[in-house]
Structure 1
Amino acid sequence: MSASRARLVGHPSRAALAGIAAASALTGAHAADGPPPSAPRVVVEVGTVSVRPVTVNSWIPGSIVSRADAHIASVIGGRVMWIAEVGMRVREGDPIARLDDTMPRLRAEDLRGQVARVRAQREVASSQLERFNRLAATQALSASQLEDARAQREVSAEDVARAEAQLEQAQYETSQSVIRAPFPGVVTERFIQRGEYVQIGAATVRLVNTTDIEARATAALALAANVRPGQQVTVREHGVERGGRVRTVVPVGDDRSRQFEVRVTLADPHWLVGTPVEVSLPSSAARTAVTVPRDALVIRQNRSYVLRVTHADTVEQLDVTPGVGMEDAVEVTGPLSPGDRVVIRGGERLTAGQAVRVINPTQRAVQLHPG
């Protein structure tokens, strides 16, 4: 073997040594890293598939009304001295108008004098009757004279009763010169002004209780069989839905419109009287259906689905067909069973087969606001 060949075999070139070193370093790096780590589980909240009665509802037009809305009339006639301003809020018993009470007050004074006079006449007639009774016992008085005395006593008593009733009426009319609010509310309209003369029974103001309110709706008679007092319903205004409960169903339909009236108690009292609303009333009898929480339903352009959590805590996409919507749930048709867990939060980017970790709302609050 020549010297040059010996040098080639016994001493590898620098390029070969560098390649071997790089390969060894790469192999060592892979060995140190080990197998790639698994993806973290996505944190989700779940709801439960349930079976519950559902109904098909119809939206019925209605409005917000007050249960105490009245034109307050005057009991007596008289000139208006003062009347409440529009927008004035009053309590029950507060004055809303004052009339000139001069005439009923003077009449009451005159009647007090009449009452005193007829009472004195009654006393005289009573004394005379007693004296005639004593004389009749001694036969010093005729029977006709005794009867006349008794009649005079009765007439005097009737005069007293009549005068006292007239005095009471005059005092009542004097008290009614101040027109008072029969219930708390707001003056929304005035029908007469200061200085004008109001007739007996004429309206003075419109008073509306703005806190004791409810929804009034008129529905077709065909829905009457499905509506019952106490039912939970939804009241909608410009797309905003709020809860309510049927207070009463007026059991009389209108001959011309073929409609009946429903009154709904509102869960939220902050409505303006006169606000137009819609009330959701059942248009058919209740039926049993599979439902999921509203937040569990994912609606896309061409499909609707839910994400069901398996026993292995992975998710699967199940296509469903949505049906009747309720306040907190939606009827669905699809491969679901009562008790199934479906994702209601945290599923925005989940894909089928992805692993999840289920938490409850309390745990979520702790994670969002630790410590």
Structure 2
Amino acid sequence: MAVLGLLALLGGCDRAPANSQAANPAVDARAAVRVSQVRHSAAEERPRFPGVVRARERVSPAFLHAGVLSERLVARGQRVEEGEPLARLHNPALEPALAGAEGRVRELDAHLARLGRDVERARALRERNLVAQEELDRLVSEREATVQAREQAMASRADARAQVDEMTLQAPFAADVADLFVEPGDFVAAGEPVLALSGVDGVEVAIRVPVMLGARLAPGMETQVSPVLQEGRFPGRISSVGRADTALVPVVVALDSTSRLSPGESVQVYLSVPMTPSLQVPLAAVQDPGGHAPYVLALTDDETVRRVPVAPGRLENGWVTVSAPLSAGDRVVVAGQGRLQQGDSVRVLP
């Protein structure tokens, strides 16, 4: 009886697993992965570059001649109007030159008046045959030579007066005095800046961009300018694009009169650059990104893995531009690709 009971117990244990296997479905042994779709890049690129606001009109006036700064008529931060005197120079050689030129003109004027009377007198005497024709011709020639000499003297006087006028600096436009470089009594070399003027008629921002980007910019393109130390963005427009002297291209952005930005403020300039459509994949999908043969794992319609070589490009917000035999909407593996091989069948997680 004990043996029969043991056999019955063993028989019951054998039948339980069979019934359990019949009740549970088959387990999916495929690797689980997460995927993302290939997409087209944006139609335009919005790179950002730092810059500093500056006045649209700015100048550092200087004297044409060397001398001593005798008087400065403005203060730092002062508003000046067009034509307002800024500073005066003392040069002991310029004013005497003007006085000499004016004296020469007066001398020739007196000589010319006397020759005029002599010519008229000689003509009257010649009509009565009391003077030779040669004497009349001599006086006429001397008067014409004196006229030419007077014209040269007047040109010299005008030049000397202009040189004296240049001893007073004048504002070329309405501006604020941004800085002062020379103090009264200091010696000033010819062409040395005396002060700096910052115009009040609008502001702009100068930035430098890479050569490849500069080739795609043109005057008139719209921009956005954002101050670093305050909120808001202000519209701008590219006014000029220069040529690269080294590796960067100078670009000037004109700001609207409502921008409320002042010269000297630090800003960020956002450009809107048209882009050629290209494909983008998540950075997590690119395998061996720093190696010599980067690739992605793409899925076919039947959830089979295929290895696709790619040439990564620019990275932006976690997406990388690639050159590869892919199409927008293709699925690429972004997680779980550690042990996958070409041709493996996978299970896509939601």
Normalising TM by the smaller chain, what interval?
0.5 to 0.7
1:216 counterpart letter in structure 2: A
Deviation at residue 127 of structure 1 after TM alignment: 2.6
Q: 1:12-39 deviations in whole A, cap 9, x for unaligned?
A: xxxxxxxxxxxxxxxxxxxxxxxxxxxx
What is the aligned partner in structure 2 of residue 172 from structure 1? 162
**Does the C-alpha gap of structure 1 residues 197 and 56 become closer, same or farther in structure 2, counting only changes over 3 Å?**
closer
Is residue 2:62 matched to residue 1:73?
yes
SS for the counterpart of 1:115 is helix
Contact 2:57 2:201 in 1 (8 A): no
Q: Percent identity?
A: 22
**Does the C-alpha gap of structure 1 residues 249 and 101 become closer, same or farther in structure 2, counting only changes over 3 Å?**
closer
SS for the counterpart of 1:125 is helix
What is the aligned partner in structure 2 of residue 265 from structure 1? 254
Deviation at residue 77 of structure 1 after TM alignment: 3.9
2:54 counterpart letter in structure 1: V
Instruction: Map 1:287-302 to 2 at 5 A.
Output: none
Deviation at residue 139 of structure 1 after TM alignment: 6.0
For residues 137 and 87 of structure 2, the distance between their equivalents in structure 1, rounded to whole angstroms, comes to 54
TM-score, normalization by structure 1: 0.54
**Does the C-alpha gap of structure 1 residues 110 and 251 become closer, same or farther in structure 2, counting only changes over 3 Å?**
closer
SS for the counterpart of 2:113 is helix
What is the aligned partner in structure 2 of residue 208 from structure 1? 198
For residues 235 and 276 of structure 2, the distance between their equivalents in structure 1, rounded to whole angstroms, comes to 18
Deviation at residue 90 of structure 1 after TM alignment: 1.6
**Does the C-alpha gap of structure 1 residues 227 and 266 become closer, same or farther in structure 2, counting only changes over 3 Å?**
same
SS for the counterpart of 1:277 is strand
For residues 64 and 282 of structure 1, the distance between their equivalents in structure 2, rounded to whole angstroms, comes to 19
Contact 1:219 1:261 in 2 (8 A): yes
What is the aligned partner in structure 2 of residue 158 from structure 1? 148
For residues 261 and 151 of structure 1, the distance between their equivalents in structure 2, rounded to whole angstroms, comes to 63
Match of 1:242 among 233, 237, 247: 233
Is residue 2:274 matched to residue 1:277?
no
Deviation at residue 134 of structure 1 after TM alignment: 4.8
What is the aligned partner in structure 2 of residue 195 from structure 1? 185
2:241 counterpart letter in structure 1: V
How many residues end up aligned between the 2 structures?
238
Q: 1:251-301 deviations in whole A, cap 9, x for unaligned?
A: 5232x21x32222122344323233322222343387xxxxxxxxxxxxxx
For residues 247 and 57 of structure 1, the distance between their equivalents in structure 2, rounded to whole angstroms, comes to 14
Deviation at residue 118 of structure 1 after TM alignment: 1.2
1:278 counterpart letter in structure 2: Q
Structure 1's unaligned 5+ residue stretches are 1-52, 288-321, 325-332, 334-371
SS for the counterpart of 1:203 is coil
TM-score, normalization by structure 2: 0.57
Q: 1:106-150 deviations in whole A, cap 9, x for unaligned?
A: 554454443222111012222323344455566655554344223
Query: What value does the CA root-mean-square deviation take over the aligned residues?
Result: 3.4
For residues 262 and 323 of structure 1, the distance between their equivalents in structure 2, rounded to whole angstroms, comes to 29
